Amino acid sequence: MKNLTPISFLQVGGFTVGHAQDYEAATGCTVLLFDTCSPAGVAVRGGGPASRETPLLDPLAASEGIHALLLSGGSAFGLDAAGGVMRYLEERNIGFDTGITKVPLVCQSCVFDLVIGRPDVRPDFSMAYKACEDGDRRKKAALPVPEGNQGVGCGCTVGKYRGPQYAMKSGLGCFAVQAGNLKVGAIVAVNALGDVFDIDTGRQIAGLLNETKDGLLSTEEELLKDVAAMPDLFTGNTTIGAVVTNGSFTKAQVNKIASMAHNGLARTIRPVHTTADGDSIYAVSTGSEPADVNVAGTLASYVLGTAVNRAVRAARSSHGYPCSKDLEKEL
């Protein structure tokens, strides 16, 4: 898109990002810690989400915002990890003041990564606490956010319609832009059933491998072959992420931005939002910059789609799953 200036994800401002992972077990988590209680929304388009505290984001809910967002592996088992973020924030006297104590408001979504690595090892209290510490360390050292096989991206794969044996390694990606004074960025863990396409050219860059595993098939075309007798879809999918902006928005408006951001998934993942996916995208307002919600939503779609591409291109082969760079060598 023209008239946009690429910036680092953390330059959006108002938050830190930390990772923790177990490379051998191929699972991990990524936490976003917000400087203040920030208005947030969510849009769930997939059929099988695993999430925590998302009702807080309803515009009718009493909470004004959230203090942290956790993106985790481990499927629903990984929901235990949020306790580590709660403890980290509680120790720093951060949370909703109840008059008795301060209760941190932490939302979470998980991907299914149990098929890669060790299914008995999942993100837990300790791993999430370490991710918070990593975020604090990175903030003090002004370090960028690592992408690829990091944090929640550690166990991500794509192209699983014919089962994990024909899937490819994916990961975590982030991207941000600035238009005038408005900044919008996205972070995403790409663990989709479908294939991934370049947002600018439309070329398939990852997904379902062919029989010889030296090229790509179209998941959409394979799916249409099974129109009368659908196979047992491998349900270990879900793309989760967040859009963060320095624009000043209400809870209702960030929910709209989250909804519009899903267009970025539709532009880069096909098929997307299936019953075998749990696609969930959050949107968070961390600043006070006056901005139009439609502009922010349009930018959210673009940065999220670009982050999807970066997640695939930054991934490295792991646990027998080839990455996009391996395929480029074959071609």
**What is the phi/psi pair of residue 297, to 5°?**
-65, -40
Q: Token match 């060790």: residue?
A: 118
Q: How wide is the angle at C-alpha 113 spanned by C-alphas 110 and 119, nearest 5°? A: 115
- What pTM was estimated for this model as a whole? 0.96
CATH fold group of domain 5-330: L-amino peptidase D-ALA esterase/amidase (3.60.70)
What are the structural domain ranges in the chain?
Answer: 5-330
With beta carbons less than 8 A apart as the criterion, state whether 150 and 19 touch: yes
pLDDT in tens, 45-70: 877 788 999 999 999 998 999 999 99
Lowest model confidence (mean pLDDT) among 8-17, 273-282, 309-318: 273-282
pLDDT in tens, 144-178: 999 999 999 999 999 999 989 999 999 999 999 99
Lowest model confidence (mean pLDDT) among 128-132, 153-157, 234-238, 324-328: 234-238
Ramachandran category for residue 26: left, alpha or beta (phi over 0 → left; psi -120 to 50 → alpha): left
